[in-house]
Structure 1
Amino acid sequence: MLDPRKLHLLRELAGRGTIAAVAEAAMFTPSAVSQQLSALEREAGVPLLERTGRTVTLTPAGRLLVEHANAVLGELDRAAAALAAARGGPSGPVRIGAFPTAARVLLPPALAELTAAHPGLEPMVSEIDPADVSAALRAGGLDVALVHEYDFVPPVTDAAVETEPLFSEAMYLTDRPSVEAARDDAWITSKPGTLCHTMAIRACQAAGFEPRVRHHVDDFDTVLAFAAAGLGVALVPRLAATAPPPGVTLTRLPLSRHTLAAFRRGYGDHPAIRAAVAAFRTALPALTL
C-alpha cells in the first residue's frame, strides 16, 4: 500500500523541483527524503524518478502518481476537516498568510471580527508573496492565505490548492493617461519574480513596448512616494491608492487585481478555515474598491 507521507514528499518534489528544497520544507535531511522516495518507488513497482547526476526529475509514472497524490491527500484533509467539525466550533491556532496590502487593509477588521466571533481561535499572520503560497499551504506552514491574481498573469496556485474569490479592484497608472503614453518613461515595478512585476511587464507588452524599469520596489506606499518625486511611473491597485501623495494623479485602467482565499484542497470545510473566510467577507463592505 502506498504511504501518504511518502506521497506528500513526491508531491513536494513535483512542486519544489529539488531534493534539497523538499528536505528544507519537510525538515528532513536530503538523504532521508531520497530514502523515502526510493521506498515509494519500491511500493509503486515502477520508476518514479529519473536521476542524472544530482538532478532528479519525475518520470511519466511519477507525474501520474502526483495527480493521484493530490486526490488522496485532499481526501485526507477533507476527513480531518470533517472530524474537526464534529468536535465542535473552531478553536486553536489558525495560520493566515497575506500579501502586504491585504495584511494592512483587510486583515485588521477581519481579525477583530474573527476573534470576537470565535474567542477560542488564535489567528497567526505571516506576510507572504502569492507566488509562495501554494508551497506554504502544501507543507502545512499555512492553513489559509489571501492571494491575488492579475489580468495578464496566470494563476499561481497549483492543483493541491483551492481558492474562493473575495473581491476585485481596479488598477491605476500614475501620472499618465494610458500605458501607451508611458512608453518613454522610467518605470517603478516590484521585484522580478513577483506577480506585480509580471503584471506590469505584460501590461506594457500588451501596449506594444518593453518598459524601461529603473526601480524595483515592493511597498506601494514607497512606489507612490517615488512617483510623487518624479522618479518614474507605476501601476498600483485601488487599495494601495486610496490616499495618493500630493502631486500624483491616478488614471483608472481596464485592468483588475483579484483577491482570493486559498487553502489546501479538501481542507476548505475545516471550521477554522470557514470562520476565517467568513471574517474576510464580513470585512469587505468597509473597503473602498
Structure 2
Amino acid sequence: MDFTDVSLAGLRVVREVAERGTFTAAAASLGYTQSAVSRQVAAVERAAGVPVFERRREGVRLTTAGRVILRHAAAVLDEIDAADRELRDLPDETGTVRLGTFPSAGAVLLPRALTALRRTNPSITVVTRDGGTPVLVRALRAGSIDLAVLGSEPPFRPPDAETPALVTDTLTERNLCVAVPSTHPLADNDSIHVDDLRGQRWIAGRTSGDEPQLGVWPGLEGRPDVAHIARDWLAKLRLVAAGCGLTTVPAVIAAAAPAGVRVLAVRGGPEERRRVVVAHLPRPLPETALRVVEALRAAATQTGAS
C-alpha cells in the first residue's frame, strides 16, 4: 500500500489520538467509536509500513515515524481547513449542490424549495436524484450526494448504524393521512375515524423484502385487503382517483393529490407521526448547501400551513 493512499479522515484521527493520548479520548472527541479510530490508525500504519503509535497501558505515544507523519499531516490538514474557511467566507458563492430525496418529496416540497432558491440564490445549481432511505444514505456515505431528504417514522431511529453518525435536521413532523376517492362515502368528511378503515380495499407499495409497505393504515386488525401494488406514489394516487381503493400518504404531498382524490386526517387510535428530515455527513456544510437546507425548511413550513 502507498502512503499517498491515506485518507484525510485517517490523518485527522492520527492527529486527534496524538493530542488526546488515548484512542478512547480521541473517539469521544471525534464522535467515533473506538473501533473506528483503531481501524483508521491501522490503515495509516499499513500505508506507512511502520507503527505510528507505541501502545502503552496508560495510553499511546508517537513513534519516531509517527512524529514525521504527524508533522506532515498537521500541515496538510491546516491547509485544507484554511481553504474551507476561505471558501465559506466568499460572498455570493456559486456552486452545485447534489440533493437526494425520497420519491414523494418531489411532489410538493422539492419544487417549492427549488422555486424559492432560484429567486433568492440564482447562482446555486441543485441537481437531484430520488431513492429510498438505504440508497440515499449509501450515496451520502460515498460522497456522491451532499444532502438527503428522508422520510422517517417512529421510533425515529438514525438513518443507519454507521459511524460517525449522520447529522439530521427535522424539516416537518405531521400525522399520516389517508387518500380516498372523491366518490367514496368517507370523502364527505374532513376527517375519518380509524374504525372506518377496517374492511377497506388498499393500494400499497412494496419494500425490498417484497412485503407491503406505505399504503395500508398501520395496526389494522386482520389481513388487509390489498387490491393493487404500485411502487410509484403517483400511480397509487391515480388508482385511488379511479376508485380502486384507499392508500396512506404523508401529509407533505396532500397538495399534489390529483383530481378525484381527497386526503383526510385520521382520528382515533395511536397517532401515526411521520417526519421529513434532511441528512448530511458530520462536517460543516458549505454556504451553498446551507442555503438549500434553508429553502427546504421554508418549503416544509409552507407545506405544513397549506
Provide TM-score, normalisation by structure 1: 0.62
Query: Which moves more between the two structures, 248-257 or 93-102?
Result: 248-257
Which aligned pairs between 1:153-164 and structure 2 lie closer than 5 A? 154-158=157-161, 159-164=164-169
1:163 to 1:83, Cα distance in 2 relative to 1, 3 A: farther
SS at match of 2:106: helix
Q: CA deviation at 1:243?
A: 6.2
1:279 to 1:105, Cα distance in 2 relative to 1, 3 A: same
SS at match of 2:105: helix
1:271 to 1:244, Cα distance in 2 relative to 1, 3 A: closer
CA distance in structure 2 between the aligned counterparts of 1:244 and 1:124, rounded to whole angstroms = 25
1:244 to 1:134, Cα distance in 2 relative to 1, 3 A: closer
The percent of aligned pairs where both chains have the same amino acid is 25
Q: AA paired with 1:227?
A: V
SS at match of 2:46: helix
1:191 to 1:82, Cα distance in 2 relative to 1, 3 A: farther
1:275 to 1:251, Cα distance in 2 relative to 1, 3 A: closer
1:207 paired residue among 216, 220, 229: 220
Q: AA paired with 1:170?
A: N
CA distance in structure 1 between the aligned counterparts of 2:156 and 2:122, rounded to whole angstroms = 38
Q: CA deviation at 1:181?
A: 4.1
User: How many equivalent residue pairs?
Assistant: 227
Deviations 1:108-144 (A, max 9, x none): 3322332343343221122222332211111111111
Q: Is the 8 A contact 2:150 2:277 kept in 1?
A: yes
Mind listing any 5+ residue stretches in structure 1 that lack a counterpart? 8-36, 46-74
Deviations 1:183-204 (A, max 9, x none): 433321122239x954556x53
1:240 paired residue among 247, 253, 256: 253
Deviations 1:190-240 (A, max 9, x none): 22239x954556x53x33334343322233332222223332221112233
2:70 maps to none
1:106 to 1:249, Cα distance in 2 relative to 1, 3 A: closer
Q: CA deviation at 1:166?
A: 1.0
2:208 maps to 193
2:6 paired residue among 3, 9, 30: 3
Mind listing any 5+ residue stretches in structure 2 that lack a counterpart? 11-39, 50-76, 181-185, 187-191
CA distance in structure 1 between the aligned counterparts of 2:193 and 2:221, rounded to whole angstroms = 12
1:281 maps to 297
Q: Is the 8 A contact 2:109 2:252 kept in 1?
A: no
1:122 to 1:191, Cα distance in 2 relative to 1, 3 A: same
**Whose radius of gyration is greater, 1 or 2?**
2
Q: AA paired with 2:169?
A: E
Q: Is the 8 A contact 2:107 2:256 kept in 1?
A: no
SS at match of 1:166: strand
Q: CA deviation at 1:274?
A: 1.0
CA RMSD of aligned residues (A): 3.9
Which aligned pairs between 1:254-269 and structure 2 lie closer than 5 A? 254-268=271-285
